[in-house]
Structure 1
Amino acid sequence: FVQVEPDGSDAWRLEPVIEALKEGAVGIIPTGTCNLAFVCDLGNRSAVEKLLEIKGARGSQRMSILCRSLQDVDAYTQGWPPSRAPGQPDMFKLVKRVLPGPYTFILLAGKELPKALTNVDKGKSKKRREVGVRLPDDAVAQAILQQLDRPLLCSTAATGPGDGAIMGQDAAVLMDRYGRAGLDFVVDAGPRLAEGSTVIDCTGAEPVVLRQGKG
């Protein structure tokens, strides 16, 4: 376990976490919204496979990436679609105003994103690869992203029913539940009440709010 202050003022304590992520570790960190999240280095193929195995999420869930900046979003997705309808606001301008923040945007995946992380909707006439993207405003998550200097694959972690509203679940419980499956570390930044992120689907002609959350 690695314990840090909620405001990230002792981010130097995260050095072992950064080194572990570089070597392919999978861990759990706070992200500023509902629940903690499994993370690994997005560019490490073996780490991605390991996270999917721990979560049992292969092919069953849309995954998300935690980004350092909008440049990461551009690198791994096709970006925000241009406004088409009269009077429709420019999504990119809106995004720049609210990020970093508690939002998850569903975008069409770019060529650089590993295929294992995307969701294919077979019910539509044209198969599309989609991914969630987040720029977290949580100080600890930001410190990890800045020190690693790479985006992270992200998937929600839970310790049990009702845990979705609490940040910083007991690290021992998390390690007990996922340690045998291969979890390498937990970053404990203390208990913090939080809501889930607001999820907005930007893959169609107009943005659609799939879930109203903290944002």
Structure 2
Amino acid sequence: MARYFDVHPENPQPRAISQIVEMLRNDAVIAYPTDSCYALGARMDNHSGTDRIREIRHLRSDHHFTLVCADFAQLGHFVHVTNSAFRAVKAATPGQYTFILPATKEVPRRLAHAKKKTVGVRIPSHPVVRALLQELGEPILSSTLLLPGAEEPMTDGWQIKEELDHQLDAVIDSGDCGTEPTTVVDYSSGAPEIVRVGAGDPSRFE
């Protein structure tokens, strides 16, 4: 059964954050709110966690996972950012965007796109996620909590716990965080290509 955490959306309780991070370090898979809908998350080195997220969402092996990072400095350890992309990406973070960029050697091969060697990265603005990332000290491997056949991501913490109780280790409830996923911008070729229009304003990359 998944542990249920009721966490304040603006001032997350340090004790709850510490308990969740300890679970992540012990290879937990969690459902957590972001600034653009709920997501499933695990540590980057959690092999079984990756498989469990794929199983929950019925994802193919070539699915692009996202590394949710604390700040631009951490993001820079895991992706190569060209000079042309630097200012645009930095100006849009933290925010409701995911960027697809060439992965560095710090990214495990199984998490990068098999052919393109790219990975998705983002820096969210949600206080709960930022508290988790600060405490964890590394990115959270993440995927939108969109179940097979569903048109929109799940939004209610109790509903997530009831439906995925035996597939998750923890559910963080911080109230409604919307149903619109991030806007995805592919910078892997050097120029921005909008792959998905979502919560972030795409006009700055058009």
TM-score, structure 2 normalization: 0.84
Instruction: Find out whether 1:129 has 2:123 as its counterpart.
Output: no
Based on CA coordinates, which of the two structures has the bigger radius of gyration? 1
Instruction: Find out whether 1:163 has 2:149 as its counterpart.
Output: no
Q: Tell me the amino acid that sits aligned with residue 161 of structure 1.
A: A
Distance 1:8 1:67 in 2: 19
Unaligned runs of 5+ in 1: 83-89, 121-126
1:47-196 matches, within 5 Å, as 47-77=49-79, 79-82=80-83, 90-120=84-114, 127-158=115-146, 161-164=150-153, 168-171=155-158, 173-180=159-166, 182-193=167-178, 195-196=180-181
Q: Which moved more, 1:203-212 or 1:149-158?
A: 203-212
Distance 1:7 1:48 in 2: 29
Report the Cα offset of residue 114 of structure 1.
1.6
C-alpha spacing 1:57/1:163, structure 2 compared with 1 (3 Å): closer
Report the Cα offset of residue 194 of structure 1.
5.2
Distance 1:55 1:140 in 2: 23
Q: CA RMSD in A?
A: 2.1
C-alpha spacing 1:58/1:111, structure 2 compared with 1 (3 Å): farther
TM-score, structure 1 normalization: 0.81
* SS of residue matched to 2:165: helix
Distance 1:59 1:197 in 2: 21
Unaligned runs of 5+ in 2: 201-206
Given candidates 187, 198, 201, the residue that maps to 1:202 is 187
1:125-160 deviations in whole A, cap 9, x for unaligned? xx3212110000011110111111111100111367
Number of the residue aligned with 1:6: 9
Distance 1:50 1:212 in 2: 27
